[in-house]
Amino acid sequence: MNSATSPSLFDPVSLGALTLPNRVLMAPLTRCRAEAGNVPGPMMAEYYAQRASAGLIIAEATSVSPRGFGYPSTPGIFTDAQVAGWRRVTDAVHAAGGRMVLQLWHVGRISHPDFQPNGELPVAPSALKPRGQVFTGSAMADYVTPRALEISEIPGVIAEYLHGATFARQAGFDGVEIHNANGYLLDQFLRDGTNQRTDGYGGSVANRARLTLEVTEAVISVWGADRVGIRFSPGGVFNDMHDSNPIETFGHVLRELSRRNLAYAHITQVTAQDIAHGAQGGVGPKELRPYYGGSIVSAGGFTGDSGNQALAEGWANAIAFGVPFLANPDLPARLRQNAALNPPDESTFYTPGPKGYTDYPAL
């Protein structure tokens, strides 16, 4: 594709039923700013409205279940109060001219009894303890060995995603994104490093992909396929993840999803920082493009120039920016003007209050 006809970050694009004025998307970013009851408050509405110039805001990961939490002060989407809180956010974003989808989340084993109802064990496909530690809100603690879900419980998990998708509609979102990345529950089922089941949800690639596809069908039943996206991190090792053949695993699930005509697949690329932590290069949106016939959103350390290059090469249709959007509420304007970017303050990424949240200046 020559540069004269290549799309740029500032060209409009349609992802399913989502018509976007530009291809600079805001990636989902956990910020730990929810109020009591895991309810989004006014500060979250202000934060997202400041970033409404994004082609699309993908809201932070939001738990579909009381069992789906693994971090302090993260939002949920299963109570009426949470719906009302999110409605304040979507109203503010829409009033500022923006579009917003909600990322539906269940952390699976990446949790701790302190986050679980009645102090129970977290659930997972298999009873495999992840390496690493979790911040419980008061201290760092080792992850525990989770409880493997019984096959009879899996319809209940699917129902939680269905309920979350239904509540996301009531909260005024423009669509949803299924979180199937970063070592959380659906990713745990998909990859053979975390799924050692011997029933219909384990073993073969088709069995390991079953829960992803069943959850997707449930969410489509609420939204229609053209307002549903899904996120994968095929080369990632975050949260002690690995797979023996990621191209086969993710190629299979993407081929299956191609037939469902989703709004988009959101596929992260591996960054140099990821590789330094043991991630596998060469397993990302570029390599998986042949397996997926629909639109691809990519994320992972992009700049304006590298984002435009990905669009020109055809393996991404839009680019999601994470940390740059966190620190630059007017990121599309800054990229268009080649303006300097605000540096992010990592010490405030997950701390309460407006500092490092709603106080980054626009141009």
Catalytic residues: 184
Report the C-alpha gap between 11 and 26 in whole angstroms.
16
Q: What are the helix (H) ranges across the chain?
A: 42-50, 80-95, 154-170, 185-190, 205-208, 210-223, 246-258, 272-276, 285-288, 304-313, 323-327, 331-337
CA angle 150, 66, 159 (to 5 degrees): 55
Q: What would the two tokens of residue 94 be? A: 């829409």
- Crossing angle (nearest 10°) for helices 210-223 and 154-170: 30
Q: In angstroms, how far apart are the furthest CA atoms of the chain? A: 60
The Cα-based distances of 289 to 65, 183, 254, 310, 363 in angstroms read 32, 22, 9, 11, 36
In angstroms, how far is CA 233 from the centroid of its own chain? 9
Cβ pair 350, 52 in contact under 8 A: no
- Distance between CA atoms of 326 and 349, rounded to whole angstroms? 9
Give dist(CA 348, CA 357) in Å, integer.
8
Q: Report which DSSP code applies to 13.
A: E
**Rounded distance between C-alpha atoms, residue 320 and residue 286, angstroms:** 15
Q: Strand 13-15 relative to strand 18-20: parallel, antiparallel, unpaired?
A: antiparallel
> Is residue 230 helix, strand or coil?
strand
The Cα angle at residue 305 between residues 20 and 280, in degrees rounded to 5: 95
